[in-house]
Amino acid sequence: MLLSQGYGFMEFKSSSDAAEAMKLIDGSVLDSHALQVKSSDKRLTTVSSKTAGTASSSRGNNCKLIVRNVAFQASKQELAALFSAFDSLKRVRLPKQIGGEHRGFAFVEFNSSQEAQVAKESLKSLHLYGRHLVVEWAKEEDEQAELGAVEGLC
């Protein structure tokens, strides 16, 4: 059974798109609950390219993130959709247990370390299915210990 925290967030490219969606969704019923839609001025924060370059230089050319605390209801497609907001998404891997269920973490790889840094900073306070996603830099040890695989970071 999925438990809802009773709220959600949507972001639109334009304020006119947001206004139209608000008109359509406000008052509609979902799972026997009337939806209330309100506008928010908060946006995902992104780091400037200058800051991203400085931060990523301390991480070398690492373009891979590990995402921990992934809810078991979450799918690879949902994670890919979430991280594809950052243009240079290369690959999402959601390691599975022997029984087929994923293990509660994922690896997200970008084409550049700068894009990985922007994604890491932008999504650091994101919740998915009521769980706070912990987004960190992946290390080779993460993959070796948790997957039994050895491969480069980029």
Q: Whole-model pTM? A: 0.56
pLDDT tens figures, 30-61: 777 787 887 766 554 444 344 444 443 445 67
- In the block, which residue shows the tokens 């959600």? 8
Gap between the Cα atoms of 114 and 127, Å rounded: 23
Gap between the Cα atoms of 83 and 90, Å rounded: 10
Instruction: With a cut of 50, say whether residue 154 has pLDDT above it.
Output: no
- In the block, which residue shows the tokens 């840094």? 117
